[in-house]
Amino acid sequence: MEHDGFALREGEELLWQGRPPGGVIFRTYDIFFVPFSIIWTGFAIFWTLIVYLELAPKMFGGGKLEPEAFAFLIIGPLFVIVGLTTTFGRFVFDRNRRVKTRYAVTNKRAIILKKGESRAEIDSIPITRSLRVKVNGSQAGNIIFGEGYGFFSYLTWAPQSFGPPHPFIFERIQGVRVVYDLILEIQDRSPV
């Protein structure tokens, strides 16, 4: 049974739905990544300009370029692209991901729906007594389901730079305590 894009199962009832906010969100790890990415990008642009200024007379003056020079001509712009993506692009990717994301709570599951251009991805987790549910925030905040990546997740930036630092999270939802209380009620009624 389809209800607003959420594939509900037999006997399931949609109790709540919401979505994360749009716009740019700064996360805790941005304290490190923003300055680092600005320094990286600045150095990459400076280095690339120096290489091109040094090699420009040979490129346009008819001189012969050594094979190593081609490596410098290619690597510089790649480092600039990585820097610009780390500085600005990740915020755009994260915003676009959140714009296409919706959350739902049924009498049996928590559901995350991510709509793409051609298909929708649905992820769900059963709400049982044994499910660890954590909340932070009072009016707006996060509800975290299950176990996270753990302490060492902060040593690998890739999974976090373009999204939340947890595999199953209702991110920055309004009325977070009301939704959390609803989930606790469902857990209390759960037979397992």
Out of 96, 115, 149, a domain closes at 96
How high is the pLDDT of residue 157? 44
Number of domains in the chain: 2
How high is the pLDDT of residue 61? 65
How high is the pLDDT of residue 159? 43
| CA-closest candidate to residue 48, choices 76, 80, 84 | 76
Report how far residue 113's alpha carbon sits from residue 97's, in angstroms, rounded to the nearest whole number.
11
pLDDT at 4 over 70: no
* Full domain range(s) for residue 62: 30-96
CB half-sphere exposure, 147, CA atoms < 13 A: 5
